[in-house]
Structure formats: C-alpha cells, structure tokens
Amino acid sequence: MEQSIVERTGALSVAGRNVPWAAWMPAGPPPSTLVLIGHGASGDKHEGYVVALGRSLAARGTACVAIDGPIHGERRDRDATTMPFFDFAARWSSDSELTDSMIEDWRAVLDHFLSDGSVEPQAQVGYWGLSMGTILGLPLVAAEPRISACVLGLMGSTGPTKDRIATDARTIQIPTMFLVQWNDQLFHRRDVFELFDLIGSSDKTLIATPGNHGDVTPETFRRSAEFLMNRLAKSK
C-alpha cells in the first residue's frame, strides 16, 4: 500500500555556499531508508524525473532528498545568459575544487537529515545519480561510508576529472547498478563500459538500453528504484 507523501524544501549554508534542497518523505514515523538524488547537467532538484523518482520511493516508505548542483537551479546566477550545460562543462574543466565542494555539500545535507528527525538516525543511505549526477556523485559514493548502495551511469571514463573518477571507482565496494544508453551521443559506450569495469564492487549490475543520452526509459527508472530498495533493505 502506498503511503502519503510530504514534500519539503529548504537550504543549508556550507562553507559560504548556499545549498538548496528538496525532499520527499513518507508521512508518518521517520523512515529507515534515505536516498540522495543527483540531477544531470542543465537540470535541477525539481527536474521532472528527479521529482518522479523521489515521489515514487517516498510512496513506498523511503525518504529522498535532492540538491541543486553547482551553477544549477537556485544556485544559478539570475542574470546568466548562457546554458547551464555549457557553464558546467567550463566549470568542470577549470575548478579543481568542484568535486570536493559537492562532496562537502552532500555530506552536510546527509548530516542534517540524519540528525533532524526526518529519518531514523541509523537509516540506510543510497545514492542515485546519472550523467553529472555520476561525475560528482561517484566520488561522493567512494568517500562517504554511510552510503550502502548506489545507481550510477550515463558517464564514461573520460573528461577533466577522468583520473579522479577512475581512482574513486576502484574503491567502491557497495552494490552498484550502472545505466548505459547504447547510442549515447555524449559518452561513448566504450568509455562507459570501461568505467563500469573499474568499479570495484563484486555486486554490480549493468543495464544497457537503446537510445540517446537522455532516453532513459520508465522501465529502467523502475528497475533502478527496485535495485536501491532491495539492496538497502538487505543492509539493515
């Protein structure tokens, strides 16, 4: 039976940065599972698929929280005239502290939700993030021991932080589902398969679906949500 959903928004200040968040919670007692959702470039915490995933998991008893990525959503300059996708690509190439800043932001948000009564203090934590959500999320998964299962993908062993991502991927030992779009025009499947191969976990699953970068199917979203719920339940 699906539960009623409570939607909340807020923001934290982390090292002088404003970190806006949106959360979807099952109504009732604090849940024992929490999923962090990282959006892709050009999106934000209220991107359609982020909201749909958050509401779907919340209706089944799992709390979810998403934050705006760098120069996205409420963090974006209101006077910006360029596209967020290209601004992020430039920032990814030029800001050596970008990845670690995002890890710091996510950790602050996780600390907040584990301590404010939103979820059980010892809740099992998962991460879901594709494309930019993997570029900045895979290093988070590698660095944060409280995350016990993850969904990553739409990203390959390439780009300005290729070496960092490869090194971090080798350290990941938690259950991982990795999503691939067979005709991805941004990340060649050769590089995507290479990154999947680098992930150190013995419990990893790859799902490849026909289509371009953004053509992730509803079935794939459903399977990724089921994967997280299953693995987080086993971690309790």
Q: Which amino acid is at 99?
A: T
pTM of the model: 0.96
- Bridge-based pairing of strands 17-26 and 63-67 is antiparallel
**Would you state the pLDDT for residue 77?**
82
**Range with the poorest average pLDDT among 11-20, 75-84, 132-141:** 75-84
pLDDT surpasses 70 at 1: no
Mark out the alpha helices in the chain (DSSP H runs): 48-59, 84-94, 98-115, 132-135, 137-143, 162-171, 189-198, 218-235
67-92: per-residue pLDDT in tens? 999 989 999 887 777 788 888 899 89
The DSSP element (H or E) to which 127 belongs, if any, is strand 124-129
Alpha-carbon gap, residue 114 to 175, rounded angstroms: 21
The DSSP element (H or E) to which 178 belongs, if any, is strand 176-181
Instruction: Check: CB of residue 169 under 8 Å from CB of residue 142.
Output: yes
